[in-house]
Amino acid sequence: MTRPPLLIESPQNPQFKLWESALESRGLKKNGKFLLAGLKTVPEALRHHPERFERVLFTDPAQITGWRLPPGVEPVQLAPALFRTLDVSGTGFPLLVGTVPKMPAIDLSQPPQGLELLCALGDPSNLGALLRSAAAFGVSRIVLLEGAAHPFHPKCLRAASNAQFALTLLRGPRWAAVNEAAGPLYALDGGGEDLTRFDWPADMRLILGEEGQGVPADCPATRLSVPTTGAVESLNATVAVSVALFARYASVKL
């Protein structure tokens, strides 16, 4: 750095207040900025997706000594109390400020392109874990139905391990409108066809409900199930979807 970074000490500072708004879904929607935290995820995101970010926040300039900041990323020093307010996971490591990408609305009357995951998970940690598995196993598009958590919520970012930057995220309609989506349409269900014997189409939509709720009985999706011993009644929802995505990925890869 050739000059000392900007220093912010007041909680009334408009920029600080903007960043603080990124801790809640409402502020994320209104202001379109998100905060990325994490000892592994921050350096990795800065290296692979520098165009996503505009600020790096820290309390001590020594924390970013030796960092090669991309041209568009400005260093900003925060008073410790302000930094702690933004560092909700308590990483003590520099934070990145990024811009929430545009998430266009999908037209579900059009056929799917690749494997599309339609989901309404309302818990940001659950959504983050799902995005991580989706990116790992080659999902092409994520359709966030009404009621889904915000994909750039701090808890979702924390669970997703930078999966947000590898996926195409689209906004979907309310849950009930899924029944009219163009197929092929599938859903996971304990009573469905054993997915280890399933011939996965290249283009398809896989529907996930909210936590603890199955797909409605009148939904026209074909049911697929993960085979188990039956010793427990069901799998954890994130685990079930991850296993399904893996089974498809492994069968396509072979």
Q: Is 77 in the site for a copy of itself (CB under 8 A)?
A: no
Closest separation between CB of residue 101 and a copy of itself, Å?
16
Question: HSE on the CB side for 51, CA within 13 Å?
Answer: 2
- Fill in the DSSP letter of residue 183: S
Q: How many of the chain's residues bind a copy of itself (CB under 8 A)? A: 37
> Which one, 77 or 225, has the nearer CB to a copy of itself?
225
Binding mask 161-190 for a copy of itself (x = CB under 8 A): xxx--xx-----------------------
Part of the chain binding a copy of itself (CB under 8 A), chosen from 52-60, 147-155, 203-211, 232-240: 232-240
Question: Which is it for the CA torsion 238, 240, 243, 245, positive or negative?
Answer: negative
Q: Is 238 in the site for a copy of itself (CB under 8 A)?
A: yes
Nearest to 106 by CA among 141, 71, 133, 132: 141
Asked if 89 and 38 touch (Cβ cutoff 8 Å), the reply is yes
Binder of a copy of itself out of 159, 187, 208, 215 (CB under 8 A): 159
85 CB burial (10 A radius; 0-12, 13-18, 19+): middle
Q: Is 135 in the site for a copy of itself (CB under 8 A)?
A: yes
Q: Which residues of 6-18 are buried (b: 16+ CB within 10 A; e: fewer)?
A: eebeeeeeeebee
SS3 251: helix
Q: Is 52 in the site for a copy of itself (CB under 8 A)?
A: no
Q: Is 232 in the site for a copy of itself (CB under 8 A)?
A: yes
Nearest to 236 by CA among 226, 247, 246: 226
Interacting residues with a copy of itself between 8 and 47 (CB under 8 A) = 40, 44
> Which one, 69 or 166, has the nearer CB to a copy of itself?
166
Q: Is 225 in the site for a copy of itself (CB under 8 A)?
A: no
55 CB burial (10 A radius; 0-12, 13-18, 19+): buried
Residues that bind a copy of itself (CB under 8 A): 40, 44, 129, 132-133, 135-138, 159-163, 166-167, 196, 226-229, 231-236, 238-239, 242-243, 246-247, 249-250, 253-254
